[in-house]
Structure 1
Amino acid sequence: MTTTEIDTTELGEKIVKVLKTIFDPEIPVDIYELGLIYDVFVNEDYEVKILMTLTTPNCPVAETLPVEVEDKVKTIKFVKDAEVEITFDPPWTQDLMSEEAKLELGML
């Protein structure tokens, strides 16, 4: 690996850091801790695919949140492209939230 390359695992960690800067506008917790991110895929060409959900199918940010996620991930050095796929299978529930998110929201 040359100095101009990056390990896909390391890139995945950088992506997670960026995802933790994006917040659901109705809940003061980032989308990663909320459990909205189901998976992050990075291929050898540094193209990123993010499988995520929303708290509800008629979430007010259904149009803007995926675009914000794509745009922010594309700003990461080495990322060639980013695509967000929205799924509601399985549907989001509060069980998907991290302990940190539950604590933040006074649920623990």
Structure 2
Amino acid sequence: MMYAVEKIKDNVIAALKEVIDPETGVDVVRMRLVLDLQIHEDGTASYIFRPSSPLCPIALTLVISIIEAVKTVDGVMDQKVTVVDYVGAEELNKILHSLPLSKPRTAE
């Protein structure tokens, strides 16, 4: 399972490289906006989102783009996102924790 977890992590990083900060034109991986990415055995991806500035006007838009990109990766079943170093972090974390971040379960 460790190989699978590492492969999922590599695929998440690849998906995140497709998320571009529109203000800089640089992807969120190169900008180091996603920190402490971990893939757990149950398929949960946990990570920290740190906007490029404490007053980032597009923090919500950017974190939603990140969440959507991570959702596309096979093997990721759920996400736990924490926003830090942002003036609206508390409110944004409340919003994110109320969103459905897991993939819908399909009948087999």
**Residue 69 of structure 2 aligns with which residue?**
72
Matched residue pairs, number? Answer: 86
Structure that is richer in helix per residue: 2
Structure 1 match to 2:104: none
Structure 1 Cα separation of the partners of residues 80 and 62 of structure 2: 12
Match status 1:49 vs 2:46: yes
Which residue of structure 2 lines up, in the alignment, with residue 102 of structure 1? none
Identity, in percent, stands at 28
CA offsets per residue over residues 43-65 of structure 1, 9 Å max, x none? 10011112120111221111111
Tell which has more relative contact order, 1 or 2 (C-alpha 8 A, sep 6+): 1
Q: Structure 1: which 5+ runs fail to align?
A: 90-108
* Alignment partner, residue 26 of structure 1: 23
Question: Counterpart of 2:59?
Answer: 62
Say what the alpha-carbon RMSD is for the aligned residues: 1.9
**How far is the alpha carbon of 1:84 from its aligned partner?**
2.0
| Structure 2 residue 4 is the aligned partner of structure 1 residue 7 | yes
Larger-gyration structure (1/2) = 1
Gaps of 5+ in 2: 87-108
Note if 1:87 corresponds to 2:87: no
Letter in 2 for 1:85: T
What TM-score results when the alignment is normalised by the length of structure 1?
0.71
